[in-house]
């Protein structure tokens, strides 16, 4: 009997129900989402190290008066750059590997989530700014606050933290970890935005060869309008988060960085630390009122409207920017008013400005600028084209 020699190549095919396939894919996506959330949090911590060290660096130069690039603040700052870079590269590799399993149609670039691309761009700018800063110190000695490498650095930080915040916000999960990460990112973004304003308003930009100090009038206008405007926008956005003490958490994030870098980092301001902590009473009180208003709508008619409440609370926090950003806030205006005091005499500067400028002029201006900023932000917030730019690759 002749048996035909046939090559049997067994092929096992398992037909899984669609529900099961969807469940498996959801587990894979959930794992990626969880991993990327940690990546975005590490990026935020790295950026926090950078912006905190940048503030410490100003104090360090005032106390030690060094002219070397290799200082403790610079070590912390570029350690933050390193952490951000490592976290970003890790996130990119994980995203490429994950999306490569699901589809072969995307190019390598399209497998990377857009928030990570934004963070990567920020990292590239930060790394280049470090080399640029070292070269600047070597060739031009001591530099001021608004030097080209410093401007590049803070621009990179801004891109990185915006990417981290967007990535966290778009993560497909409602876990408390996501909400906490968002609040941390908001606090760091808030500080970077204010520091960006300080670069163009503080009179600390006269270096050994170049004087980039702003015009006193420009410093007065920008310093009076932009800090309250950015503060109002941040807290208007923060109030959409489902967390009871969200405003307190975000304010505490900034105040922690400001305290470590500026208030308790030197003997000149450490005694003000208890007074500085009083700033936290503002967001705490607003959060408590918000919780009470939610439970007792009829007793607080004006706060029963969620939109009105968000606007009022955002403006209320912006109203106190002069003490939240102390000591840098009062130093923005000292040149315009002819006050010849150094940074470590900021309490005296505050006292001299309180009755002739802060209360009669700055407070009304901050109220108006913060309200207008919210109105402008509402026009762009949630704009479909803006949202589509940052859709996470699935």
Amino acid 9: pLDDT? 43
Mean pLDDT value of segment 37-64: 88
For the cut 70, the answer to whether the pLDDT of residue 388 exceeds it is no
* pLDDT band for position 3 (cuts 50, 70, 90): very low
For the cut 90, the answer to whether the pLDDT of residue 386 exceeds it is no
Sign of the alpha-carbon torsion through 294, 298, 303, 305 = positive
Amino acid 374: pLDDT? 94
For the cut 60, the answer to whether the pLDDT of residue 384 exceeds it is no
* pLDDT band for position 16 (cuts 50, 70, 90): very low
Mean pLDDT value of segment 131-146: 81
Both tokens assigned to 385? 């084209």
Closest by Cα among 136, 145, 135, 118 to 40: 118
Mean pLDDT of the chain: 83
Sign of the alpha-carbon torsion through 342, 348, 353, 354 = positive
Q: Are 51 and 195 in contact (CB under 8 A)?
A: yes
* pLDDT band for position 103 (cuts 50, 70, 90): low
Give the pLDDT confidence of 197-237 residue by residue, as tens digits. 999 999 988 877 888 899 999 999 999 999 999 999 999 99
Give the pLDDT confidence of 162-188 residue by residue, as tens digits. 999 999 988 876 688 999 999 999 999
Residues in the chain: 394
Give the pLDDT confidence of 25-47 residue by residue, as tens digits. 343 455 656 788 999 999 999 99
Q: Are 218 and 199 in contact (CB under 8 A)?
A: no
* pLDDT band for position 193 (cuts 50, 70, 90): very high
For the cut 60, the answer to whether the pLDDT of residue 12 exceeds it is no
pLDDT above 90 coverage of the chain, percent? 55
Least confident residue range of 198-202, 307-311, 380-384: 380-384
Distance CA 168, CA 191 (A): 18
Amino acid 253: pLDDT? 96
The larger pLDDT score, comparing residue 101 to residue 8, is at 101
Mean pLDDT value of segment 369-394: 68
123, 167, 48, 39: CA torsion to nearest 10: -80
The long-range contacts involving 374-379, CB below 8 angstroms and separated by at least 24 positions, are 374/232, 374/233, 374/236, 374/311, 374/314, 374/315, 377/233, 377/236, 377/237, 378/236
**For 103-238, where are the alpha helices, taking DSSP H only?**
114-140, 148-170, 176-199, 216-238
For the cut 60, the answer to whether the pLDDT of residue 101 exceeds it is no
For the cut 80, the answer to whether the pLDDT of residue 325 exceeds it is yes
């Amino acid at each position: 009997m002749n048996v035909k020699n046939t090559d049997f190549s067994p092929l096992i095919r398992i037909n899984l129900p669609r529900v099961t396939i969807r469940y498996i894919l959801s587990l894979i996506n959930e794992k990626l989402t969880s991993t990327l959330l940690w990546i975005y949090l590490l990026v935020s911590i790295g950026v926090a190290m950078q912006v905190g060290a940048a503030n410490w660096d100003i104090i360090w130069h005032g106390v030690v008066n060094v002219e070397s690039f290799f200082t403790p603040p610079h070590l912390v700052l570029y350690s933050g750059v390193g952490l951000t870079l490592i976290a970003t590269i890790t996130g990119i590799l994980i995203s490429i590997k994950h999306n490569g399993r699901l589809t072969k149609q995307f190019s390598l670039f399209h497998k990377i989530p857009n928030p990570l691309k934004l963070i990567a761009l920020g990292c590239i700018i930060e790394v280049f700014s470090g080399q640029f800063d070292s070269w600047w110190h070597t060739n031009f000695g001591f530099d001021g606050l608004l030097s080209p490498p410093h401007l590049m650095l803070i621009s990179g930080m801004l891109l990185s933290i915006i990417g981290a915040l967007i990535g966290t916000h778009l993560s497909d999960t409602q876990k408390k970890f996501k909400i906490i990460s968002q609040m941390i990112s908001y606090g760091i973004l808030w500080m970077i935005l204010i520091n960006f304003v300080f670069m163009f308003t503080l009179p600390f930009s006269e270096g050994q060869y170049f004087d980039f100090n702003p015009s006193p009038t420009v410093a007065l206008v920008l310093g009076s309008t932009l800090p309250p405007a950015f503060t109002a926008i941040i807290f208007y956005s923060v109030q959409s988060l489902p967390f009871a003490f969200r405003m307190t958490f975000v304010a505490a994030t900034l105040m922690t960085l400001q305290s470590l870098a500026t208030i308790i980092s030197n003997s000149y301001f450490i005694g003000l630390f208890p007074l500085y902590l009083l700033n936290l009473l503002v967001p705490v009180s607003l959060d408590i009122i918000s919780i009470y208003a939610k439970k007792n709508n009829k007793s607080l008619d004006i706060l029963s409207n969620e939109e009105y409440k968000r606007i009022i609370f955002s403006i209320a926090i912006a109203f106190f920017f002069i003490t939240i950003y102390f000591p840098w806030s009062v130093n923005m205006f000292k040149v315009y008013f002819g006050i010849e005091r150094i940074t470590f005499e900021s309490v005296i500067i505050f006292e001299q400005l309180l009755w002739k400028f802060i209360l009669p002029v700055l407070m009304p201006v901050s109220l108006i600028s913060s309200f207008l900023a919210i109105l402008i932000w509402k026009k762009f917030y949630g704009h479909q084209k803006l949202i589509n730019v940052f859709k996470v690759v699935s």
